Amino acid sequence: MTASNDETIQSTQKVGFISLGCPKALVDSERILTQLRIDGYEIVPTYENADIVVVNTCGFIDAAKQESLDAIGEALTENGRVIVTGCMGADAAKIREVHPKVLAVTGPQAYEEVVSAVHQYVPTQLGHNPFIDLIPPTGIKLTPRHYAYLKISEGCNHRCTFCIIPSMRGDLVSRPIGDVMGEAKRLVDAGTQELLIISQDTSAYGVDLKYRTGFWDGRPVKTKLTDLCEALGELGVWVRLHYVYPYPHVDHIIPMMAEGKILPYLDIPFQHGSPRILQLMKRPGDIDNTLSRIHQWRNICPDLTLRSTFIVGFPGETEGDFQQLLDFIEEAQLDRVGAFAYSPVEGATANALPDPVPEELKQERLARFMEVQARISADKLQKKIGKRIEVLIDEVDEEGAVGRSHADAPEIDGMVFLNGDTELKPGQKVMATVFAADEHDLWADRDE
Ligand code: SF4
């Protein structure tokens, strides 16, 4: 009897997992890991202890593809039994060309396929036993306990010419509002203090379902961003919106931010400030209207933080277009900005556009852009000196605590340093007064 028990325990199969890419890919990884745990697999952190390795890849730009191919190569060398999934999995031929020894390749959001490939190559002899396999009701999370990414839809209905996500992930598919709210509630019950709402296009939530009415908490709620924000705002935690496309109905969300229901923070990838380039990108090009909306939003919600990303050196960009971009960021006074020099992505329609910008000029423009934005960011942060802010603590060490204000998303924005505050705990929220700033971060003293 004892022998057979030992045999059962030893037969637990071990899976190594490598998660690359953006927060959306991270959420995919969490779902796959949760399912594997439910199915009785053990997740291990080293190649040598794993019976098989799953690599969740990113294929957004060429550099990310190369990183994915390198990660697959390393897993093959170190372990030898590798399953590939994620965005780059959409191009199975390319992966097999470089790494013919991979066991299976599955595409993005193919949770069942990747899990069944794991079952095929390392069959588990332990089924799910609810008495011994304690999966937290939130599933497996790869972020710290106090914040979590909440994915509300997959795919995208736009066709921006520089992007291949719609061809990899398909058109928009929204999750039913009851599911999204159920997951949000479980996360909050498990200690999450901040929900980061993600998708390819957050403002399009529910368009595919014709804003169908679902149910949450015993009442009807529409599958629509405004209704979702209202419902999330009742959970009593920070709610932060990422990847918002500037549709008109975004205007209705700003009053909720002013009322404190959700964080006054919008991450809108504007991508450019020249109508001509925006048209070439197939993005909304009415930049004057965008600027007047930004001014209106700030009138309604003066605390609003705007984060954006831009592409510099898109094919056909003239000095005049670039100057319009600089004028746009001067006028828009965005708080947080990321910028990239355009690089062609295999399969993107922008590759066929004429007049590519020479590499040197792209880099020169990128440097000029960043110089202007660094000054804007530094000026905006200087104005926070003397203000009281709420800080969510991320980490504490012997030097003090590091957290973020409502203006800072994890990993991409700035931080707030509370030097000497060693007794705080991650996930705690405290009030503090800012006494110093640079172009990214703030230093503050906790209020007594
Ligand atoms: S909005 Fe444009 S850039 Fe974003 S995922 Fe859709 S097609 Fe790609």
Residue 163 CA: nearest ligand 1 atom is 8
Distance CA 404, CA 389 (A): 10
Confidence (pLDDT) at 377:
94
**d(Cα 264, Cα 253) in Å, to the nearest integer?**
9
Residue 51: both structure tokens together = 């019976």
Tell me how far the alpha carbon of residue 27 lies from the centroid of ligand 1, in angstroms.
18
Closest Cα to atom 1 of ligand 1 = 158
> What is the predicted pLDDT for the residue at 273?
96
Rg (CA), the chain: 23
241 CA → ligand 1 middle, Å: 16
* Residue 87: DSSP 8-state: G
Residue 137: band (very low, low, confident or very high) from pLDDT cuts 50, 70, 90: low
Could you tell which of 24, 153, 165 is best to mutate to test the pocket of ligand 1, judged by most ligand atoms within 8 Å of the CB? 165
Query: Can you tell me the mean pLDDT for 225-247?
Result: 95
Quote the CA–CA distance of 281 and 342 in Å, as a whole number.
12
How far is the centre of ligand 1, averaged over its atoms, from the C-alpha of 282 (Å)?
10
pLDDT at 246: 87
Chain centroid offset of residue 336 CA: 15
- Which is nearest to 415 in space by CA: 375, 372, 381? 381
Ligand 1 midpoint to CA 437 (Å):
34
Q: Which residue's C-alpha comes closest to atom 5 of ligand 1?
A: 200
Which atom in ligand 1 lies closest to the alpha carbon of residue 157?
6
Identify which of 22, 60, 109, 160 to mutate to test ligand 1's pocket (most ligand atoms within 8 A of the CB). 160
**Tokens (6 digits) for 102:** 């991979």
Per-residue pLDDT at 232? 98
For 347-362, write each residue's pLDDT tens digit. Answer: 889 999 999 999 999 9
CB 44 within 8 A of CB 54: no
C-alpha span between 276 and 318 (Å, rounded): 10
pLDDT at 316 over 90: yes
Please provide the average confidence, as pLDDT, over all residues in the chain: 89
Q: How far is CA 173 from the centre of its chain?
A: 17
pLDDT in tens, 41-94: 888 888 888 999 999 998 777 778 888 999 999 999 999 999 999 888 888 888
pLDDT at residue number 122:
86
- The confidence score (pLDDT) of residue 7 equals 32
Task: Judge residue 263's burial from the number of C-beta atoms within 10 Å of its C-beta, 0-12 exposed, 13-18 middle, 19 or more buried.
Answer: buried
pLDDT of residue 11: 56
Q: How far is the CA of 10 from the centre of ligand 1 (A)?
A: 46
Atom number of ligand 1 nearest to Cα 200: 5
Q: Are 430 and 444 in contact (CB under 8 A)?
A: no
Percent of the chain with pLDDT over 70: 93
Q: Ligand 1: which of 157, 159, 163, 310 to mutate, judged by most atoms within 8 Å of the beta carbon?
A: 163
Q: Which atom belonging to ligand 1 lies closest to the Cα atom of 201?
A: 1
Band (330; pLDDT cuts 50, 70, 90): very high
Q: Which of 109, 151, 158, 309 to mutate to test the pocket of ligand 1 (most atoms within 8 A of CB)?
A: 158
What is the per-residue pLDDT for 437? 96
Intra-chain end-to-end CA distance of the chain, in Å: 62
Q: How far is the CA of 199 from the centre of ligand 1 (A)?
A: 10
Instruction: Tell me, in angstroms, the distance from the centre of ligand 1 to residue 37's CA.
Output: 33
Q: Quick one: which of 196, 194, 262 has its CA closest to 227?
A: 262
Question: Are 56 and 17 a contacting pair, CB within 8 Å?
Answer: yes
Q: Which residues line ligand 1 (CB under 6 A)?
A: 156, 158-160, 163, 165-166, 200-201
Atom of ligand 1 nearest to the CA of 282: 2
Two tokens, residue 124: 């588990």
pLDDT above 90: residue 242:
yes
Q: Give distance in angstroms: CA of 258 to centre of ligand 1.
A: 28
Residue nearest to atom 8 of ligand 1 (CA): 163
pTM for the full predicted model: 0.78
Of the pLDDT bands very low, low, confident and very high (cuts 50, 70, 90), residue 8 is very low
pLDDT band of residue 136 (cuts 50, 70, 90) is low
Query: Pick the residue with more confidence: 381 or 66?
Result: 381
* β-strand pairing of 213-216 with 219-222: antiparallel
Task: Find the mean pLDDT for residues 223-248.
Answer: 95
Is the pLDDT reported for residue 133 higher than 80?
Answer: no
How many angstroms separate the alpha carbon of residue 191 from the centre of ligand 1?
Answer: 32
Are 326 and 353 a contacting pair, CB within 8 Å?
no
Highest mean pLDDT (candidates 39-43, 167-171, 377-381): 377-381
CA of 271, closest atom in ligand 1: 3
User: Is pLDDT at 20 greater than 90 in this prediction?
Assistant: no
Query: Does 30 have pLDDT greater than 70?
Result: yes
- Render pLDDT for 401-413 as a digit per residue (tens, 0 to 9): 999 999 999 988 9
